[in-house]
Structure 1
Amino acid sequence: MRLHVADHPLITHKLTVLRDRNTPSPVFRQLTEELVTLLAYEATRSVRVSPHEIQTPITTTVGVKISEPRPLVVPILRAGLGMLDGMVKLLPSAEVGFLGMARNEETLEPTTYAERLPEDLSDRQCFVLDPMLATGGSLGAAMEFLFQRGARDVTAICLLGAPEGVAAIEKQVEGRDVTLVLGALDERLNEKGYIVPGLGDAGDRLYGTV
């Protein structure tokens, strides 16, 4: 497993505003989109491309285009949905699937309640969007779901991660082609499984409490 923690002042600045409990939902949503676009730049460094010949106003040259099958972007509902626009803005040719997962607040174990994905993901590059890598339960289950359908490699983009979650994912995906891209690696998890210092519940801060 490869781990990339972003080290850029713009990312740190935007995360600082996200962490502020007084940041309202509209600003939170906008900053999340901007952050994901910045993180996606790093996450797509290994996206597969193939040669593509074009005619410029001057001459013929060979560039590249995104290879087939196209990458698949998978936001984990509901909070991951707030990251989708920022990702497809950078990778508009990608297909989009959806995976609904919820964490039991007592056991901290994930459950899947919805999925809208291709049946066959053979040889596909998948990009999973999940704002918070806390215990690693939901993200790990999502990755396993994709690999079972034949995904070739999986990259996860998270705004924040905790060391416990990173360790859990690393143990679970041993021997598989996985990359984690984090906006920041925080200190730890608290007794309720929340990231410290974190930013609270990303879903509630994006969309309000249901």
Structure 2
Amino acid sequence: MTAYNPAHLTVLDHPLIQHKLTLLRRADTSTASFRTLVRELSLLMCYEATRHLPLETVEITTPLETMLSKQLAGPALCFISILRAGNGLLDGMLDLAPFAAVGHIGLYRDPETLEAVEYYLKLPARISDRLCIVVDPMLATGHSAAVALTRLKEEGAKNILFACLLSTPHGIEHLKKTHPDVSVITCATDPGLDDHGYIRPGLGDAGNRLFKTR
């Protein structure tokens, strides 16, 4: 199975992930199906992203005897959703890890400059002790992701992983330049961007497709 390496890019090539991503890309996929697919993909991504969470040994009692067994050593995990589209990925990850702390950062992209502007930030306690998995469906120019990561570091985050459905070489290079210590997990890397900063061929605007907006 695929595992990420610190400060590296990992493209998840599991057959189920690639199949569901193809369905997600289709223009005729309904809103309901799109939401379900994003949730399913985020659950599969979470499985890979949490592969290196720390464990501790505890004593438990089974129906038959006492034994030593492994459990997560907390506070281990935090999901940070880049609003609003990140919430689509957040749901599936919480299905797999309902114990995780959750934070939100609100960013919008200036239509003229394509630069990210922050409008909201709410983070859980002890963020410096947690693996922070930042989720956003698209890593396009990389500007929004870089701003989000900078703010998280300013608030004390030290161990950060960025997870997205789609990425571009431009976005990956921008993150590598601005945050070389942050690993990226993605389901695919598409060739490039159009004049409006959208990933091509991509899957359209993830937020609009998730929330049925324009």
Tell me, yes or no, whether TM beats 0.5. yes
Paired residue type of 1:162:
T
Question: Contact (CA 8 Å) 1:36, 1:83: kept in 2 or not?
Answer: yes
Number of positions where the alignment pairs a residue of Structure 1 with one of Structure 2: 208
Deviation for aligned residue 1:72: 1.1
Paired residue type of 1:156:
F
CA distance in 1, matches of 2:122, 2:96: 22
Question: Contact (CA 8 Å) 1:124, 1:150: kept in 2 or not?
Answer: no
Deviations 1:135-190 (A, max 9, x none): 1111111111111111121111101101100010011112x3x2211011111112
Which of 181, 186, 193 is 1:189 aligned to? 193
Indicate the SS of the match to 1:122. Answer: helix
Structure 2 residue aligned with 1:207? 211
Structure 1 residue aligned with 2:50? 44
Question: Contact (CA 8 Å) 2:79, 2:103: kept in 1 or not?
Answer: yes
Question: Contact (CA 8 Å) 2:85, 2:137: kept in 1 or not?
Answer: yes
Percent sequence identity is: 46
Deviations 1:100-145 (A, max 9, x none): 1111122110011111113652222101110000011111111111
CA distance in 2, matches of 1:39, 1:183: 8
Calculate the TM-score normalised by the size of structure 2: 0.92
Which of 64, 70, 73 is 1:64 aligned to? 70
Paired residue type of 2:213:
T
1:1-80 aligned within 5 A: 1-80=7-86
Change (3 A) 1:46 1:76: same
Question: Contact (CA 8 Å) 2:102, 2:124: kept in 1 or not?
Answer: no
Deviation for aligned residue 1:48: 2.0
Calculate the TM-score normalised by the size of structure 1: 0.94
Change (3 A) 1:119 1:104: farther
Deviation for aligned residue 1:61: 2.2
Question: Contact (CA 8 Å) 1:70, 1:93: kept in 2 or not?
Answer: no
CA distance in 2, matches of 1:143, 1:52: 34
Structure 1 residue aligned with 2:117? 111
Give 5+ residue unaligned stretches, structure 1: none
1:101-140 aligned within 5 A: 101-118=107-124, 121-140=127-146
CA distance in 1, matches of 2:213, 2:36: 18
CA distance in 2, matches of 1:120, 1:192: 38
CA distance in 1, matches of 2:88, 2:123: 18
